[in-house]
Structures are given as C-alpha cells and as structure tokens.
Amino acid sequence: MSGTYVGMPAFPQAAKAATKDTQLRANLTRATHTIRDKRARAVSELDDWEQLRHAGRAIKDRTLRHLDEYLVQAEQAVAAAGGTVHWARDAAEANRIVADLVKQAAAQQSVNSDEHELEVVKVKSMATQEIGLNDALAAEGIRAYETDLAELIVQLGEDLPSHILVPAIHRNRQEIQGTFIDAMGGWGRPAPAGLTDEPTALAGAARLHLREKFLRAKVGVSGANFLVAQSGTLVVVESEGNGRMCLTLPETLISVVGIEKIVPTWQDLEVFLQLLPRSSTAERMNPYTSMWTGTTDGDGPKAFHLVLVDNGRTETLADEVGRQALRCIRCSACLNVCPVYERAGGHAYGSAYPGPIGAILTPQLRGTASELDASLPYASSLCGACYEVCPVAIDIPEVLVHLRATVVEGGRNREQGHGGHRAERAAMKAATWAMAHPAAYRAAEKFATATRAVHPRRLPAPGPAAAWTDSRDLPRLPEQTFRSWWKENHG
C-alpha cells in the first residue's frame, strides 16, 4: 500500500518544496484552471444557483442540529432493510470493524485464507482514506484494490492522493504511463505491451487490469456521498462505473460513512444531486448514481454492513464556528480555485483532505496538537475564493481565523505543549498596547521615520522580517507620516 501522511513536515516547509517543482506546478495549474472554468460555466447555467446553495446550507445545518435523531432513524431504516449498522468512535475502531467483517465474510464464503490472500475491491471513498483503511487492512493480511482510475494510479505509484476529486491530479499522462508499465504486473494483469500515453489507451489498460478484480472479489468496500435517513438508502455518485461494479458484484458490501453524510429525506437529496456534480466535475448530472437500501434477494450483495464513523465529528459539531465544516459534500470546488493549493500541491496539507477545506477540516477532526495540524489554519491568504464557490456556503476564511485563535490559545483541549506562539503573542500584545495608546504610537512612528535612512532593504534571518525580505524588498519609509503632514497643513 502507499505511504502515509503521519509525521509529515508543517505546511510551510512542504509547500516550499512544492513551489520549486515546476512539473508539479504545470500539472496542477493546467488541471485546476480547466475544472475551474468548466465549473463556472456549469453553475452559470442555473438561475437559482444561489437559492440552491442556501438550501444546501440550510438542510445541512438543520440535519446537524438534529443529527442524533436522524442517525437513529437511519440505523433503524438500514436494519429494517436487511443491513447491519456498526458504530465506530474513531479510525482504529472503524478499521477493526471492517477487517473483522472481511474475515467473517471469507469464513462464511469458505474462502481458505491460507491459500488465497483475502482481498476487497474499493469504490473511491474519502472516509476510508481519512481512517487509513488500506494500510490497516494490509496489516491484517487483506489486500484492498482501489478501482477508481485516479486512485488506482496513486496506489500503483505508491503515492498519496493530492486532491479530493482527482487524487492523481499531480501526475500527467506520461507519468501515469510509466506507473502502469512498471507496477500493474505486481498487482495483477500487467499493462498491455506497447502502452502509449494516450488517455484512451491508459483507460483501456486500467479497464483490463480492474475487470479481473471486479469479477473475483467477494467483498466490496465503499463510502457514501449521502445517507437518506428516511429510507436508510445510501448514495454514491461517480463517473467511471467502477463504483457500480463494486456495489453490485461482490456478495458482501461494507460501506464506511461519516456520521455527517446524512440527509433526512429524498426531497433534501434532490438539492445535493444538483449542487454536487456541477461543483465537482462541472457536469449537469454525474454519469452514475448508485442507490441501495439494505439487501435485495437475488439482486446485488447478500450482506450489507454500514460502518458509521465519528472520528472527531462530534467534537467538531460542538464547535459553534467550526461545525460548518461538516456541511462539506467533498466537491473540491474550493481546491480548484485556491491559489495556495495550486502552488503548494495537495500533499503539503498532510491529510486525505487537501486545499482550503482540508485546512479547516483536518484541524477540526484531528485537533492541532501536531506541528503540521497547527500550521494548517495559516495555509491561506484569506482571499475568500473558496467561500465564493462553496456549494454549501462554508465560510472557510471565518473558520481559518477561528482555528488560528484556537492554535494561539494552545489548542481546543490545550493539547499543544508549547501553548501557542509565545514570541508572536508578546509582539501582538505590544502592538495592541501601542495602538491603544496614541501617544506611544506616535512616538514609535516618529522613531521609525527618524531612523529611516539606516533601515536596510533586506534583513538577516531568522524571523518574520527576514521571511519578508527573502523575496521582497522592504519599502523605504517616507520622511513624514501622514499624521504629521496633516498637523502641519490642516491642524
């Protein structure tokens, strides 16, 4: 299985490396600008987009306010339809449950695990990326095969996803061609001889490689875009049809779903089935929408398990400002417009959730104890492009600033040993004191202006001033402040 995000450096260091990678930048700029422009066109087709957006936001907010009731309703509906519901407090519990279910299914289907390696086929799923399911299954001797084309590219390349919708966005087709030729054989059917970098040839190779896995697998693992509480129906939207294969062919289906994915009714779902495709793939409707409710005799999986995952969501829900992050429907529109994401790349965010939404969701779900997680709320210029395109109106800049205050206070449970940024806090206090005392402020201004002749344009490291002058000159201070000019001329 591919690598892990654990122990990655803080955002500024990882981003610095990315800014020097010209191939990565070219791949990202090209891809994000293409999707960005297409999304803008798809959204502009609808006269009532703003109303839809506010409906999406309102439905999510109402659902989150009564999440306890809707979860119980969903559990009862899934059970009544022949499914089994499991509750997981965190990633470890969720992984444990899935691994046990896979082994249990193998035992029931009398697959001899000594002779055949246990395996599952996977639908693209953010929840399973979040909990690190593939690694956890590998540790239990279970091979998880990603079947989404981009996830397959990432898995074969022993790489990490760098985008929510387009996990291999950082790779171009020549790189993908190389990965297929080098790695497909180790995972199953090798790449056809003479594979070119033509998109149709690459897709054809993936299709052949994956088909034998679809036909052989006894267990499918998915996430879900939505869970309709009313009927206990799960919904997956996708483009490639691999999801449909995984959801219908295996005898056992296990769906790992965050507790915030609930929508109360089918009428509510209608709003999101308009918002999501236009915001993500810039399509009026996605090619495949799969919906399933429990099990059906003689049709699809014989056993269905729903694993409902908390993993920090309840704590996020308790945060009055931060809870809006739970509205997210994982469309990626914010990534595609983000100037920081475009230049830093997805890996710098150190989690399955990159970009602006990751910069708030990751610290909300995981806390800010690690250096990386504490650096994420600062990974934004607060330009607001993300909020503008968000289909459920998550005010990402507002949450970023809120999380910065949390970091400064030493974390929501005061979990950061260092208690925020000591030197910075002292500087901010001093600045506020001076600003609140005009005489002191004027004296500081006078001093700065009087010494202007000796101010350098570049400053030695370390410190924030040096971080400025590494790439920019400092402005020369003028001889006279505005205040003193006003006094002379108008006072």
* Residues near another protein, by CB under 8 A: 11-12, 15-16, 19, 339-340, 343-344, 377-385, 387-388, 401, 403-408, 420, 424-425, 428-429, 431-432, 434-436, 438, 441, 445, 448-449, 464-465, 467-468, 470-475, 477-478, 480-483, 485-487, 490-491
Tokens at 174, concatenated: 């020549």
CB atoms closer than 10 angstroms to residue 425:
13
In angstroms, what is the minimal distance from the CB of 52 to another protein? 20
Q: How far is residue 262's CA from residue 269's CA, in Å, rounded to a whole number?
A: 9
Closest to another protein by CB, 318 or 382: 382
Rounded to 10 degrees, the C-alpha dihedral 356/357/362/365 comes to 150
In angstroms, what is the minimal distance from the CB of 366 to another protein? 18
In angstroms, what is the minimal distance from the CB of 384 to another protein? 4
Closest to another protein by CB, 16 or 284: 16
In angstroms, what is the minimal distance from the CB of 71 to another protein? 32
CB atoms closer than 10 angstroms to residue 238:
21
- Of 172, 208, 174, the C-alpha closest to 191 is 208
Closest to another protein by CB, 38 or 343: 343
- Three-state secondary structure call for residue 418: coil
- Three-state secondary structure call for residue 122: strand
Q: How far is residue 395's CA from residue 54's CA, in Å, rounded to a whole number?
A: 12
Q: How far is residue 60's CA from residue 70's CA, in Å, rounded to a whole number?
A: 12
Cβ–Cβ < 8 Å for 164, 330: yes
Closest to another protein by CB, 253 or 348: 348
DSSP string, 305-364: EEEEE-TTHHHHHT-TTGGGGGG-----HHHHH-HHHHHH-GGGG-SSS-HHHHHHHHHH
In angstroms, what is the minimal distance from the CB of 312 to another protein? 21
> Dihedrals φ, ψ of 304, to 5°?
-130, 130
How far, in whole angstroms, is CA 330 from its chain's centroid?
7
Q: How far is residue 289's CA from residue 145's CA, in Å, rounded to a whole number?
A: 21
Closest to another protein by CB, 212 or 479: 479
- Of 134, 205, 120, the C-alpha closest to 167 is 134
DSSP secondary structure letter of residue 65: H
2-234-332 Cα angle (round to 5): 50
In angstroms, what is the minimal distance from the CB of 340 to another protein? 6
In angstroms, what is the minimal distance from the CB of 466 to another protein? 9
- Residue type present at position 311: N
Closest to another protein by CB, 107 or 431: 431
Closest to another protein by CB, 270 or 388: 388
In angstroms, what is the minimal distance from the CB of 322 to another protein? 14
In angstroms, what is the minimal distance from the CB of 263 to another protein? 29
In angstroms, what is the minimal distance from the CB of 170 to another protein? 16
Closest to another protein by CB, 61 or 445: 445
Tokens at 439, concatenated: 């005489």
Closest to another protein by CB, 169 or 359: 359
Q: What is the number of alpha carbons within 13 Å of residue 254 lying toward its C-beta?
A: 30
Tokens at 124, concatenated: 């693209």
Closest to another protein by CB, 163 or 402: 402
Tokens at 105, concatenated: 């299914």
- Of 242, 129, 145, 140, the C-alpha closest to 184 is 145
- Residue type present at position 308: L
Closest to another protein by CB, 245 or 379: 379
Q: Which residues contact 36 (CB under 8 A, 6 or more apart)?
A: 336, 337
Closest to another protein by CB, 351 or 406: 406
Q: How far is residue 287's CA from residue 384's CA, in Å, rounded to a whole number?
A: 31
In angstroms, what is the minimal distance from the CB of 331 to another protein? 19
Closest to another protein by CB, 9 or 82: 9
- Residue type present at position 480: Q
In angstroms, what is the minimal distance from the CB of 442 to another protein? 9
In angstroms, what is the minimal distance from the CB of 438 to another protein? 5
CB atoms closer than 10 angstroms to residue 284:
11
